[in-house]
Amino acid sequence: MSSRSYKTMVVKIGSSTLVRADGTPDEAFLSALAAQAEELAAAGWRLVVVSSGAIACGLRMLGLGPKRPADMPTVQAAASVGQLSFARAYDEAFAARGILTSLVLLTRQDTARRQSYLHARDTLTRLVGLGVTPVVNENDTVTVEEIKFGDNDTLAALVSCLVSADLCVILSDIDGLYTANPSIDSAATLIPRVEKIDARIIAGAGDSSTSVGTGGMITKVRSARILMTAGIPSAICSGAEERPLVRLAAGEAVGTRFQPPAQCQEIAPRKLWIALGDTAHGSLTVDGGAATALTRRGSSLLPVGVRAVEGDFHAGDVLDVKDATGLTIARGIAEADADVLRLAAGRRQDEIASNRLLSELADRPAIHRDNLIVFA
């Protein structure tokens, strides 16, 4: 990914992997993780950890049980208590191996603003360059649903793009991506390698089956798709595997590997920010012709190709672009408000130019290609 003297691996650890039944951090797991970090360092790798588990741990410590409560203040209080416990556990485990850790807490507000996104990138890059292992989590103590990442799989993809990772690994309670949900289909088989994430792959990804996590396989697959677009390989495997990070760094097949195209187009940092920095505020569904123009010819999205407009958004907001099947094929920045695009949908540019209500779009597309990222 770069000319630097080391490689960078981002590992995301789910709550079900990291939290014991009593709600405390699994110290044996963290000790083994630190040992892998030491091995990776000797092999020329630097590690960044995206960690779940603070809320689950905090709830247990407060005597509130494993089930996440509905009221946000209690969840935020649990995050506050649990985060301190987890930071201490990471620090102790890694310090025993002579590795310095740091705590980085992010929110969507931090990354939705382009300038803050760049500050986060610079800080993380500097920490890694100094040989520190950053432990990254969402700042659940202050976030609310409207500004949450929603799951740490998405956060791991974001962090991987921020640090220009050479590999992103998601450690879970499942071996990888299966052809179907293995908990309900005995015929399901593990898919060892994925080179293109299409509607079939996405449809086969099930939801979370754990009581402590917020993400499911679908969030992992969506994150892998963005990483493939960015040219970053990723893997999903079980946290119970023996030394999975070291083995993956050595090129061994563990779990499911998502491999970007051999001729991966260089993606500008701004477009990666569009893909991950902010949540989508709405969506545009396009016809077949527009979908082809976007994915194969790198065109802008014109209003004539728009078939449906969802959401109440404004010009400058990030939107998902979906094909007729509902698959998100791209993400971009709206050139006009939702009500304007609803009126313009399906109309040719000459029709738009002659309509005084739509004149602001006469010389502009719905989404300009410079503000559009098409997913692999």
**pLDDT one digit per residue (tens) for the chain, 376 residues:** 455 789 999 999 988 888 887 778 899 999 999 999 999 999 999 999 999 888 888 888 888 877 788 888 898 898 888 888 889 999 999 999 999 999 999 887 777 778 888 899 999 999 999 999 999 988 767 665 443 455 788 889 999 999 999 999 999 888 999 988 888 888 889 999 999 888 778 777 754 344 333 347 888 898 899 899 999 999 999 999 999 999 999 999 999 999 998 776 667 778 888 888 778 899 999 999 999 999 999 899 999 999 999 999 999 999 999 999 998 999 999 999 999 999 999 999 999 999 988 988 888 999 999 999 998 7
CATH number at residue 107: 3.40.1160.10
Instruction: Specify the pTM.
Output: 0.85
* 28 inside domain: yes
Residue 130 and residue 74 share a domain: yes
Residue 160 and residue 20 share a domain: yes
Q: Are 347 and 307 in contact (CB under 8 A)?
A: no
Residue 349 and residue 228 share a domain: no
Expressed as residue numbers, the domain containing 284 is: 280-374
* 272 inside domain: no
Number of domain units in the chain: 2
One-letter amino acid of 247: R
Residue 304 and residue 236 share a domain: no
Residue 302 and residue 232 share a domain: no
Residue 205 and residue 200: Cα distance in Å, rounded?
A: 9
Task: For the chain, report the end-to-end CA distance as a whole number of angstroms.
Answer: 17
Rg (CA), the chain: 21
Residue 132 and residue 15 share a domain: yes
Measured on CA atoms in the order 246, 250, 254, 257, is the torsion positive or negative?
A: positive
* Residue 96 CB neighbour total at 10 angstroms: 13
Q: Name the DSSP class of 242.
A: S
One-letter amino acid of 170: I
Residue 302 and residue 233 share a domain: no
Residue 25 and residue 219: Cα distance in Å, rounded?
A: 24
Report the SS3 class of residue 165: coil
CATH number at residue 352: 2.30.130.10
pLDDT of residue 264: 63
Residue 227 and residue 295 share a domain: no
Residue 306 and residue 174 share a domain: no
Residue 130 and residue 6: Cα distance in Å, rounded?
A: 11
Residue 197 and residue 56 share a domain: yes
Q: What H or E segment, with its residue span, contains residue 153?
A: helix 152-162
What are the backbone angles phi and psi of residue 205, rounded to the nearest 5°? -80, 120
